[in-house]
Amino acid sequence: NGIQTNKPALRAVRQRSEFTLMAKRIGKDLSNTFAKLEKLTILAKRKSLFDDKAVEIEELTYIIKQDINSLNKQIAQLQDFVRAKGSQSGRHLQTHSNTIVVSLQSKLASMSNDFKSVLEVRTENLKQQRSRREQFSRAPVSALPLAPNHLGGGAVVLGAESHASKDVAIDMMDSRTSQQLQLIDEQDSYIQSRADTMQNIESTIVELGSIFQQLAHMVKEQEETIQR
């Protein structure tokens, strides 16, 4: 009759292969997201007002947040896959699969926590930057230096020259007042932008806290399953 095919064994091999592919894909995505987080960490720790990559930081924050949400869903799907196929795959294989799921969950939980810490550092730096800019913007217009009057000193100043000098001084004052008003407008815009950024960060931190709690609960469940 020939060799009879062992259908349960073939099914188990297919399931193991499918599980391995899913786990590898999640592992690769975790590594890619971790690389983005390392980049964000370097950028977020910079404190200089003039070297603040705000747009890049916001983009990376958004991307990493999306990645973590996606990874959380992928790991939950992998966990469901293990549960659904558990009775068909045998005790030893199910324990091995559960161990891998716990490992992936733990890595994601750790990365979520690191991301939360980086965002907290960023929030603190934004507050310090805002404080420094507010101090700068409070400098009165009169404190800004006017162009020196080279016509003064021991020389005899003619009436026409004196009048021309006053006109130049007034023009300089008008120009500086205009510049100062422009700075104030820019400052208001900057503060509003930073306030929006901080609000978004705080919202993300709350969301990450929720994901972290969810992952911690899932890890505990999986560990209990392994120990049974």
- Is residue 58 domain-resident? yes
Q: Residue 201 class from Cβ within 10 Å (0-12 exposed, 13-18 middle, 19+ buried)? A: buried
14-31 as b/e, with b when 16 or more CB fall inside 10 Å? ebbeebeebbeebeebbe
Residues in contact with 220: Cβ distance below 8 Å, sequence separation at least 6, in sequence order:
none
What is the average pLDDT value for the chain, to the nearest integer?
75
Output the pLDDT for position 62. Answer: 92
Taking each helix axis from N to C end, the angle separating 54-89 and 159-227, rounded to the nearest 10 degrees, works out to 10
Residue 127 lies in a domain: yes
Domain that holds residue 19: 7-143+156-227
CATH number at residue 86: 1.20.58.70
Burial 77-104 (b: 16+ CB within 10 A, else e): ebbebbeebbeebeeebbeebbebbbeb
Assigned domain for 148 exists: no
Residue 44: name the closest of 148, 106, 120, 100 by CA: 120
Percent pLDDT > 90 in the chain is: 26
Higher-confidence position of 222 and 72: 72
Q: Is residue 89 part of a domain?
A: yes
**Residue 193 forms part of a structural domain:** yes
* DSSP letter (8 states) at residue 46: -
Task: Name the helix (H) or strand (E) containing 115.
Answer: helix 91-137
For residue 2 the two structure tokens come to 């020939």
pLDDT per position as a tens digit, 16-45: 889 999 999 999 999 999 999 999 999 988
Give 33-82 pLDDT, tens digit per residue. 999 999 999 998 887 666 668 889 889 999 999 999 999 999 999 999 88
pLDDT digits (tens, 9 = 90+) for 101-137: 999 999 999 999 899 899 988 888 888 877 776 666 5
Q: Which of 118, 123, 112 is nearest to 67 (CA)?
A: 112
Cβ neighbours of residue 29 under 8 Å, at least 6 residues apart?
A: 67, 70, 71, 74
Specify the pLDDT at position 170.
Answer: 59
CB 105 within 8 A of CB 75: yes
Structure tokens that stand for 179 in this block: 């510049």
User: Is residue 1 in some structural domain?
Assistant: no
Per-residue pLDDT tens digits for 194-221? 667 777 777 787 888 878 777 877 777 7
- Count up the domains in the chain and report the number: 1
